[in-house]
């Protein structure tokens, strides 16, 4: 089927979950994988496996509203045959071999507010970045819609800005093969 003259191609379909409760880790996983694979129940099961004898599970919120830690994200990815590799912030971003990376999950400080009142507290928030049809997107579940970052230069600029703010951690989501070979890192 051909397009009418002057018609713009439709933008790619980008999967994007919006924030609910403190489930940003689940949203980040599903957003980076571009489909709903994880639920709160699945994350809670992972928490139980990680700390089977704990009355108060250290891997999630005491209130049962989410706020999952990195161990839950790593276990969830391992269950799919994927791996999470910590990015060493001391390395230049030019060494990041983005074509070998399925996506990125960032852990960022996030302001706390009650309605319109901003509190002097900071919590942690999980954010996914992913390439879809040649364009990298910020898939932060707090955004109304995915935010296009552009090409590799655009995502590197976004990462540089996030890392420059401090207290930002970056996980590379890669296949087990890429993890084992270390091919997520450029050696040239």
Residue 121, SS3 per DSSP: strand
pLDDT of 6 reads: 46
Query: Does residue 16 sit within a domain?
Result: no
Per the rule left: phi > 0, alpha: psi between -120 and 50, beta: everything else, 7 is: beta
Selected residue with higher pLDDT from 113 and 74:
74
Query: Does residue 6 sit within a domain?
Result: no
Query: Does residue 117 sit within a domain?
Result: yes
pLDDT at 8 exceeding the cut of 60? no
Per the rule left: phi > 0, alpha: psi between -120 and 50, beta: everything else, 81 is: left
Query: Does residue 3 sit within a domain?
Result: no
pLDDT digit string, tens, across residues 52-103: 677 776 556 666 666 777 888 889 999 999 999 999 989 999 999 999 999 9
Q: Active-site residues: which are they? A: 24, 125, 140
pLDDT of 175 reads: 95
pLDDT of 115 reads: 58
| pTM passes above 0.85 | no
pLDDT of 7 reads: 43
Query: Does residue 15 sit within a domain?
Result: no
Query: Does residue 141 sit within a domain?
Result: yes
pLDDT of 168 reads: 86
pLDDT at 24 exceeding the cut of 70? yes
**Six-digit token string for 152:** 């590799």
List the domain range (segments joined by +) for residue 59: 24-181
pLDDT at 13 exceeding the cut of 60? yes
pLDDT digit string, tens, across residues 115-168: 566 555 556 888 999 999 999 999 998 889 999 999 999 999 999 999 988 888
**Total domain count for the chain?**
1
Query: Does residue 10 sit within a domain?
Result: no
Give 169's contacts (C-beta < 8 A, 6+ positions apart): 70, 86, 87, 106, 107
Q: Do 49 and 62 contact (CB within 8 A), yes or no?
A: no
Residue 22, SS3 per DSSP: strand
156-165 contacts at long range (C-beta below 8 A, 24 or more positions apart): 156/93, 156/94, 156/96, 156/98, 158/129, 159/93, 159/96, 159/104, 159/106, 159/129, 160/93, 162/106, 162/108, 163/89, 163/93, 165/108, 165/109
* CATH classification at residue 146: 3.90.70.40
Q: Sorting pLDDT into bands at 50, 70 and 90, what band is 112?
A: low
Residue 94, SS3 per DSSP: helix
pLDDT of 126 reads: 87
Query: Does residue 146 sit within a domain?
Result: yes
CA-CA distance, 186 to 188, in Å (whole number)? 6
CA-CA distance, 97 to 85, in Å (whole number)? 13
What Å distances lie between residue 159 and 15, 20, 112, 156, 171, CA to CA?
A: 21, 25, 22, 5, 11
Distance of CA 67 to the CA centre of its chain: 14
pLDDT of 3 reads: 43
Selected residue with higher pLDDT from 8 and 146:
146
pLDDT of 44 reads: 76
Residue 14, SS3 per DSSP: coil
């Amino acid at each position: 089927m051909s397009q009418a003259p002057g018609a713009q191609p439709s933008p790619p379909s980008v999967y994007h979950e919006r924030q609910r409760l403190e489930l940003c880790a689940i949203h980040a996983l599903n957003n980076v994988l571009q489909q709903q694979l994880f639920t709160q129940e699945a994350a809670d099961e992972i928490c139980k496996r990680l700390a089977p004898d704990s009355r108060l599970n250290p891997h999630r919120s005491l209130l049962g509203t989410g706020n999952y830690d990195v161990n839950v994200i790593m276990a969830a990815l391992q269950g799919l045959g994927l791996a999470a590799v910590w990015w060493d912030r001391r390395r230049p971003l030019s060494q990041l071999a983005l074509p070998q990376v399925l996506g990125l999950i960032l852990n960022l400080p996030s302001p706390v507010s009650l309605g319109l009142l901003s509190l002097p507290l900071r919590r942690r928030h999980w954010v996914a970045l992913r390439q879809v049809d040649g364009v990298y997107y910020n898939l932060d579940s707090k955004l109304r819609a995915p935010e296009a970052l552009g090409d590799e230069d655009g995502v590197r600029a976004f990462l540089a800005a996030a890392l420059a703010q401090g207290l930002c951690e970056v996980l590379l989501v890669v296949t087990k093969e890429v993890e084992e070979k270390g091919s997520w890192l450029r050696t040239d």
